[in-house]
């Protein structure tokens, strides 16, 4: 199995976390974004959007972090990380939607706007980021995990850019339940450090 990634991609980090928890061996294929390797014809055959991550499992290719998480969870994790029962799966998937919307466009984009990597309005991104963090804080005030009372891909999908919210100009000190949840995740056996 090959994971196409960059070292600093939070979206690739989500997949790396799950592969680590499940102890699934894989080969890292690190792309150089400075050289625009992600926009070259060879990589566009792997990922038509030219983004990371993408996962190649014996010639079957999946692009987008959510697709990769779903694939790895169902293939190697049984029911634990992504259950197959409709209600349980929906409970997990609603958090993947938050990760792909408010967290992505708020926290990730806000971080990049402040770093000068992306054009846009930091204020608009921060408004979305606060909406995401408020949603997480509300859930985590009375729950240890985002779904089903245990760690699932819901937690992994949200973790990377939430952990870097300060870099988007939103202090995590205002979100104590979120901060405790981050520490719980980082204390799980099999945790993969960023980078």
pLDDT tens, residue by residue, 11-60: 999 999 999 999 999 999 999 988 999 999 999 999 999 999 999 999 99
* 86-186 carries CATH number 3.90.226.10: no
CB-facing half-sphere around the CA of 112: CA atoms within 13 A: 14
Which residue spans within the chain are E strands per DSSP?
2-5, 27-30, 54-57, 60-63
The backbone torsions φ and ψ at residue 102, rounded to the nearest 5 degrees and listed phi first, read -60, -40
pTM: 0.95
- Rounded to the nearest 10°, the torsion over CA 18, 22, 24, 30 is 20
Residue range 149-185, pLDDT digits in tens: 999 999 999 999 999 999 999 999 999 999 999 999 9
Task: List, by residue range, all CATH 1.20.1050.10 domains of the chain.
Answer: 86-186
Task: List, by residue range, all CATH 3.40.30.10 domains of the chain.
Answer: 2-76
Q: Give the angle 25-179-175 at the CA atoms, nearest 5°.
A: 140
- What CATH code is assigned to 2-76? 3.40.30.10
Q: Which residues pair with 62 in a beta bridge?
A: 55
């Amino acid at each position: 199995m090959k994971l196409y990634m960059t070292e600093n991609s939070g979206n690739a980090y989500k997949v790396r976390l799950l592969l680590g928890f499940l102890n699934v061996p894989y080969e890292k294929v690190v792309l150089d974004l400075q050289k625009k390797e992600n926009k070259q014809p060879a990589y566009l055959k792997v990922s038509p959007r030219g983004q990371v991550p993408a996962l190649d499992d014996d010639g079957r290719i999946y692009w987008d972090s959510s697709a990769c998480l779903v694939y790895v969870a169902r293939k190697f994790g049984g029911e634990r990380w992504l259950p197959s029962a409709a209600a349980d799966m929906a409970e997990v998937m609603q958090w993947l939607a938050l990760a792909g919307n408010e967290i992505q466009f708020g926290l990730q984009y806000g971080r990049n706007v402040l770093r000068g990597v992306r054009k846009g309005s930091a204020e608009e991104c921060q408004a979305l980021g606060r909406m995401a963090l408020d949603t997480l804080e509300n859930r985590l005030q009375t729950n240890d995990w985002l779904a089903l009372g245990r760690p699932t891909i819901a937690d992994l999908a949200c973790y990377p850019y939430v952990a870097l919210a300060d870099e988007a100009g939103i202090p995590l000190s205002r979100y104590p339940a979120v901060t405790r949840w981050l520490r719980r995740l980082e204390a799980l056996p099999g945790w993969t450090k960023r980078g």
